[in-house]
Structure 1
Amino acid sequence: MANHQSSKKRIRQDEKKRLENKYYAKTMRNALKKLRAATEKEAAVAELPKVTSMIDRLAKKNVIHKNKASNLKASLASHVNKL
Protein backbone atom coordinates (compact mmCIF):
# COMPACT_ATOMS: atom_id res chain seq x y z
CA MET A 1 0.00 0.00 0.00
CA ALA A 2 1.12 3.53 -0.72
CA ASN A 3 2.75 5.47 2.10
CA HIS A 4 3.24 8.92 0.63
CA GLN A 5 0.51 11.47 0.14
CA SER A 6 1.52 12.01 -3.49
CA SER A 7 1.36 8.31 -4.30
CA LYS A 8 -2.09 8.05 -2.69
CA LYS A 9 -3.25 10.98 -4.80
CA ARG A 10 -1.75 9.39 -7.92
CA ILE A 11 -3.72 6.20 -7.23
CA ARG A 12 -6.95 8.20 -6.92
CA GLN A 13 -6.24 10.09 -10.15
CA ASP A 14 -5.36 6.92 -12.05
CA GLU A 15 -8.62 5.29 -10.99
CA LYS A 16 -10.64 8.27 -12.25
CA LYS A 17 -8.76 8.25 -15.57
CA ARG A 18 -9.20 4.51 -15.93
CA LEU A 19 -12.96 4.74 -15.46
CA GLU A 20 -13.24 7.66 -17.88
CA ASN A 21 -11.16 5.90 -20.53
CA LYS A 22 -13.23 2.75 -20.08
CA TYR A 23 -16.44 4.74 -20.60
CA TYR A 24 -15.21 6.42 -23.79
CA ALA A 25 -13.83 3.17 -25.20
CA LYS A 26 -17.14 1.41 -24.58
CA THR A 27 -19.02 4.30 -26.20
CA MET A 28 -16.79 3.97 -29.25
CA ARG A 29 -17.36 0.21 -29.46
CA ASN A 30 -21.13 0.74 -29.32
CA ALA A 31 -20.90 3.32 -32.12
CA LEU A 32 -18.86 0.88 -34.20
CA LYS A 33 -21.44 -1.86 -33.71
CA LYS A 34 -24.24 0.50 -34.66
CA LEU A 35 -22.43 1.58 -37.82
CA ARG A 36 -21.56 -1.98 -38.84
CA ALA A 37 -25.16 -3.07 -38.29
CA ALA A 38 -26.54 -0.31 -40.51
CA THR A 39 -28.19 -1.62 -43.67
CA GLU A 40 -29.02 1.67 -45.38
CA LYS A 41 -26.11 3.36 -47.11
CA GLU A 42 -27.41 6.91 -46.51
CA ALA A 43 -27.59 6.40 -42.75
CA ALA A 44 -24.15 4.80 -42.67
CA VAL A 45 -22.60 7.61 -44.74
CA ALA A 46 -24.13 10.19 -42.39
CA GLU A 47 -22.84 8.36 -39.31
CA LEU A 48 -19.30 7.67 -40.59
CA PRO A 49 -17.82 11.19 -39.96
CA LYS A 50 -19.12 11.18 -36.37
CA VAL A 51 -17.59 7.80 -35.61
CA THR A 52 -14.34 8.72 -37.36
CA SER A 53 -14.10 11.88 -35.28
CA MET A 54 -14.70 9.90 -32.10
CA ILE A 55 -11.95 7.43 -33.02
CA ASP A 56 -9.52 10.27 -33.77
CA ARG A 57 -10.21 11.95 -30.43
CA LEU A 58 -9.60 8.71 -28.53
CA ALA A 59 -6.36 8.11 -30.39
CA LYS A 60 -5.25 11.65 -29.60
CA LYS A 61 -5.93 11.05 -25.88
CA ASN A 62 -4.09 7.69 -26.04
CA VAL A 63 -7.17 5.72 -25.07
CA ILE A 64 -6.59 3.62 -28.18
CA HIS A 65 -3.39 3.29 -30.23
CA LYS A 66 -3.06 5.48 -33.31
CA ASN A 67 -2.51 2.46 -35.57
CA LYS A 68 -5.64 0.78 -34.22
CA ALA A 69 -7.54 3.99 -34.92
CA SER A 70 -6.26 4.01 -38.47
CA ASN A 71 -7.19 0.37 -39.00
CA LEU A 72 -10.69 0.92 -37.59
CA LYS A 73 -11.31 3.94 -39.82
CA ALA A 74 -10.13 2.10 -42.92
CA SER A 75 -12.27 -0.95 -42.23
CA LEU A 76 -15.33 1.20 -41.52
CA ALA A 77 -14.85 3.19 -44.71
CA SER A 78 -14.58 0.04 -46.80
CA HIS A 79 -17.66 -1.40 -45.05
CA VAL A 80 -19.69 1.72 -45.84
CA ASN A 81 -18.52 1.71 -49.45
CA LYS A 82 -19.66 -1.90 -49.87
CA LEU A 83 -23.22 -1.07 -48.79
Structure 2
Amino acid sequence: MPQHKSCKKRLIQAEKANAQNRSARSAIRTSLKAIRTAATKEEALKELPNLFSQLDKAAAKHRAGFCANRAANYKAKAAKVINSLA
Protein backbone atom coordinates (compact mmCIF):
# COMPACT_ATOMS: atom_id res chain seq x y z
CA MET A 1 0.00 0.00 0.00
CA PRO A 2 1.20 3.49 -0.76
CA GLN A 3 2.41 5.65 2.10
CA HIS A 4 2.22 9.10 0.50
CA LYS A 5 -1.09 10.89 0.29
CA SER A 6 -0.65 11.63 -3.42
CA CYS A 7 0.11 7.97 -4.13
CA LYS A 8 -3.04 6.88 -2.30
CA LYS A 9 -5.05 9.35 -4.38
CA ARG A 10 -3.54 8.07 -7.62
CA LEU A 11 -4.39 4.50 -6.62
CA ILE A 12 -8.03 5.46 -6.05
CA GLN A 13 -8.13 7.36 -9.35
CA ALA A 14 -6.62 4.41 -11.20
CA GLU A 15 -9.19 2.01 -9.75
CA LYS A 16 -12.01 4.32 -10.77
CA ALA A 17 -10.62 4.70 -14.31
CA ASN A 18 -10.15 0.93 -14.61
CA ALA A 19 -13.78 0.35 -13.63
CA GLN A 20 -15.03 2.89 -16.17
CA ASN A 21 -12.82 1.46 -18.91
CA ARG A 22 -13.95 -2.08 -18.13
CA SER A 23 -17.60 -1.04 -18.19
CA ALA A 24 -17.29 0.80 -21.51
CA ARG A 25 -15.36 -2.06 -23.13
CA SER A 26 -17.89 -4.61 -21.90
CA ALA A 27 -20.86 -2.61 -23.20
CA ILE A 28 -19.23 -2.20 -26.61
CA ARG A 29 -18.39 -5.89 -26.85
CA THR A 30 -21.93 -6.89 -25.84
CA SER A 31 -23.41 -4.60 -28.45
CA LEU A 32 -21.04 -5.93 -31.12
CA LYS A 33 -21.97 -9.48 -30.23
CA ALA A 34 -25.67 -8.64 -30.57
CA ILE A 35 -25.03 -7.28 -34.06
CA ARG A 36 -22.84 -10.19 -35.15
CA THR A 37 -25.28 -12.84 -33.91
CA ALA A 38 -28.44 -11.11 -35.15
CA ALA A 39 -30.64 -13.40 -37.20
CA THR A 40 -32.11 -10.64 -39.34
CA LYS A 41 -30.91 -7.33 -40.67
CA GLU A 42 -33.68 -5.50 -38.76
CA GLU A 43 -32.44 -6.83 -35.40
CA ALA A 44 -28.92 -5.71 -36.19
CA LEU A 45 -30.11 -2.26 -37.33
CA LYS A 46 -31.94 -1.79 -34.01
CA GLU A 47 -28.69 -2.31 -32.10
CA LEU A 48 -26.53 -0.18 -34.41
CA PRO A 49 -27.42 3.28 -32.92
CA ASN A 50 -26.63 1.95 -29.45
CA LEU A 51 -23.21 0.72 -30.57
CA PHE A 52 -22.42 3.98 -32.38
CA SER A 53 -23.40 6.00 -29.32
CA GLN A 54 -21.19 3.92 -27.02
CA LEU A 55 -18.25 4.14 -29.43
CA ASP A 56 -18.61 7.92 -29.75
CA LYS A 57 -18.77 8.38 -25.98
CA ALA A 58 -15.75 6.15 -25.40
CA ALA A 59 -13.75 7.98 -28.08
CA ALA A 60 -14.73 11.41 -26.75
CA LYS A 61 -13.58 10.51 -23.24
CA HIS A 62 -10.65 8.32 -24.37
CA ARG A 63 -12.10 5.37 -22.47
CA ALA A 64 -11.13 1.75 -22.91
CA GLY A 65 -8.36 2.64 -25.34
CA PHE A 66 -10.71 4.14 -27.91
CA CYS A 67 -9.63 7.09 -29.99
CA ALA A 68 -11.59 8.53 -32.91
CA ASN A 69 -9.87 6.29 -35.48
CA ARG A 70 -10.43 3.09 -33.53
CA ALA A 71 -14.10 3.97 -33.03
CA ALA A 72 -14.43 4.65 -36.76
CA ASN A 73 -12.88 1.26 -37.55
CA TYR A 74 -15.36 -0.49 -35.24
CA LYS A 75 -18.24 1.38 -36.90
CA ALA A 76 -17.03 0.32 -40.34
CA LYS A 77 -16.74 -3.31 -39.27
CA ALA A 78 -20.25 -3.26 -37.79
CA ALA A 79 -21.66 -1.70 -40.98
CA LYS A 80 -19.88 -4.35 -43.04
CA VAL A 81 -21.48 -7.12 -40.95
CA ILE A 82 -24.93 -5.56 -41.36
CA ASN A 83 -24.49 -5.14 -45.11
CA SER A 84 -23.55 -8.81 -45.41
CA LEU A 85 -26.90 -9.82 -43.86
CA ALA A 86 -29.65 -10.44 -46.38
Tell me the TM-score range normalised by the shorter chain.
0.7 to 0.9
Q: Let me know the Cα RMSD of the aligned residues.
A: 1.4
Match of 1:29 in 2: 29
Aligned pairs for 1:44-63 (under 5 A) are 44-63=44-63
Unaligned ranges ≥5, structure 1 = none
Larger fraction in helix: 1
2:77 maps to 75
TM-score by length of 1: 0.87
> What residue identity is the alignment partner of 1:80?
I
TM-score relative to the length of structure 2: 0.85
Cα distance in structure 1, aligned partners of 2:48 and 2:26: 17
Aligned residue pairs total 83
- CA distance in 1: counterparts of 2:12 and 2:33, whole angstroms: 32
Q: State how far apart, in whole Å, the 1-side matches of 2:13 and 2:56 are.
A: 24
